[in-house]
Chain A
Amino acid sequence: MGVVVEANIGLDEIKTFASSLSVWAHLATVGADDEPDVVPVHPCWEGDILWVMVGTDSVKTRNVRHNPKVALHWQVSENGDGVEVWGVASIHADLATKKRLWTGVFDYDLSAFAPGGPENSPDTAFMRIEPTRALLLRMYGAAGSARWKAS
């Protein structure tokens, strides 16, 4: 039996599918020395934009400042369903953005990680990821795949 290739799908379907897999994704970035890095993140959607809480001096933040291209792979389900999203990232540490994101966007309490809140967390910033394409795989691709690309 050959691999079933699904038709192209929309970003909303990618978002729904990703949310059904896990709250965790593995975020890959590239350093100035062309070395890859991959770390766990808990991203949240605001419309079609992904946000990740980051440290201002973390490796992923430094990498994105050099190379804005990122890839995220949501942790796969027990039966091997997964989704990878590629995008362009930027770092935002301004107070207006932090206050806006601190409540209502993330599905966990940011203050548990930055007790000072948006006004008193100088080491905390947010990574904004604008998705450019995505690949959805069912059973590691054995049961089908689907792609999305920004127009």
Chain B
Amino acid sequence: MTTLDDVRSDSLRYGPLAYLATVTPAGEPHVAPTAVAWHGDEILTFVRTDSRKVVNLRTNPRIAVHFSVGPTTNWDSCIVRGDVVIEDTNAGRTNLWDKMGYDLAPFEPGGPTADTHVFLRIIPTTALILRNYGIAGRETWSRS
């Protein structure tokens, strides 16, 4: 049986870039690439406060995360669905500031107290791993 640890380990094969799908208030999908990092059982990303994805998530906190695909990982796919908590307080940003695995300062010179960036804490609910487009099998994980 696939566990969240299995999903986390598999996701690390694809590199730090993932594609985040959210839903606009009008019900239209949006998808954008962003760097992600695991922090415990959650996936973190650091994004602009006024980005489309943050606007969407304030209305609908559901998200789907698809890690990059490519020949080096045999065209496998790892997709994680979850709920998002927007960490937009000084305390929250300060707590997570050094958890992304890269220096955030070039992206937010104002540091963790600047309101122009937030962290998204993605709490996984389900996950799907497709081996070689799904031809070689699939693995699923669900929190419940």
Contact = CB atoms under 8 A, between A and B. Distances in A.
Interface of A: 24, 26-30, 34-40, 67, 69-73, 75-76, 82, 84, 86, 113, 140
A90 to B, nearest CB: 15
Interface of B: 17, 19-23, 27-33, 60, 62-66, 68-70, 75, 77, 79, 81, 130, 133, 135
Contacts of A28: 21, 29-31, 64
Contacts of B133: 40, 113
Given A35-B81, A40-B69, A71-B30, 6 more contacts: A26-B66, A29-B29, A35-B64, A36-B22, A36-B23, A140-B33
A43 B21 CA distance: 18
B1 to A, nearest CB: 21
Contacts of B77: 39-40
B28 A37 contact: no
B32 A84 contact: yes
B2 to A, nearest CB: 18
Contact of A37 (B30, B60, B64): B64
A82 B130 CA distance: 24
Given A71-B28, A113-B135, A34 B21 contact: no
A73 B27 CA distance: 17
B27 A30 contact: yes
A35 B21 CA distance: 9
B79 A39 contact: yes
